[in-house]
Amino acid sequence: MISTNKKSAQPLGPLMVDVGGLELTDEDREILRHPLVGGVILFTRNYRDHEQLKALCDAILSLRRPRLLLAVDHEGGRVQRFRVGFTRIPAMRTFGSHYAEDPAAALRSVRDCGFTIGRELSAFGIDLCFAPVLDLDHGVSAVIGDRAFADHPDLVIALAREFRAGLNAAGLVATGKHFPGHGAVRADSHVELPVDRRAEAELRAADLRPFQALIADGLESIMMAHVRYHAVDEMPASLSRRWIRGILRKELGFAGAVFCDDLSMGGAAVAGTMEARARLALAAGCDMLPVCNDRAAVIGLLDALKTLKPSRAASQRLQRLYRRVP
């Protein structure tokens, strides 16, 4: 089916893939040992109880040296993959609303929330919760909505800083998303490519500010948006050299790891085949490419990219995201 390296003494590859169930299959193990794979993202289907999840995570983490990155979308609110037996995390808008009444209490609460997420996930060996959302809620994007802290950049910055501090205190790093801002478009990038037609100056004056502030603080990783910003580049930001290598890396000085959003999403389909999407994302400067809920596409991509050599520089950036015991 696919070529593997069972000695596994290679840099982390650029693909983040999923597994189908509560424990690894032989096919899962073969794919996860492939040199082009560098991470695993977990979903609700991968969780039954604490004992099962710990066994699954241990099995994944024991497959490779250096070990695979392990991630889950666990923002809170609508986006929390593990629920039974885990603290229920409110939507981030809750903290923005609380801030209007009691700023100090809201900042304490959101820091505690970040710490709780970090403590609970790190107990299973999970490195990333893919949060916080740094998008501004402009009142038009249903897919963002209450996942955003607020509609004003200063408030998003204040709350996101505390959330990140909580994660860091529990040994996890943060992933700011979705650069450069998904909150001003109606279309859902899971199913189609949204187009943001605002002027570049407007983007910079508002949506880029939370990313810029947290980058200055040392933000460890960023996830790109499958959104086309018409005034900047005709390519979606996730596949754009101008956005990643130009604005994010060179202009804003971001030195952390860059995640593409899921290449299986409709917002990436404008680039064509899965191979075309992956090659464009890598050329644009993404370090890791999630490909979710499509095992056939993963297998096809591993074959199509079989001559690609994993980047040691990207692997080093990704390995800096490993959880740390406080």
Q: Compute CA distances 266 → 47, 78, 225, 284, whole Å.
A: 26, 20, 12, 19
CA distances from 244 to 32, 50, 232, 241 (A): 27, 38, 12, 5
Question: Using CA atoms, how far apart are residues 258 and 3, in angstroms rounded to an integer?
Answer: 26
Nearest of 214, 283, 227, 295 to residue 255 by alpha carbon: 214
Cα atoms found within 13 Å of the Cα of residue 134, Cβ hemisphere only: 32
Binding residues for substrate are: 73, 81, 147, 177-178
In the block, residue with structure tokens 């609460």 = 109
Please check whether residue 207 is in contact with residue 284, taking contact to mean a CB–CB distance below 8 angstroms: no
Summarize the annotated binding site as residue ranges. 73, 81, 147, 177-178
d(CA 304, CA 296): 12
Stretch (H or E) spanning 223: strand 221-224
Q: How far apart are CA 221 and CA 320, in angstroms?
A: 10
- Using CA atoms in the order 180, 185, 187, 193, what is the torsion angle rounded to 10 degrees? -40
Amino acid, single-letter form, for residue 14: P
Residue positions annotated with a catalytic role: 190, 261
Tell me how far apart the alpha carbons of residues 110 and 67 are, in angstroms, rounded to a whole number: 31
State the first-to-last Cα distance of the chain, in angstroms, to the nearest integer: 41
Q: Is the dihedral of CA 33, 36, 301, 262 positive or negative?
A: positive
Q: Which H or E run includes 37?
A: strand 37-42
- Rg of the Cα trace of the chain? 19
Please, what is the Cα angle at 13 between 11 and 15, to 5 degrees?
165
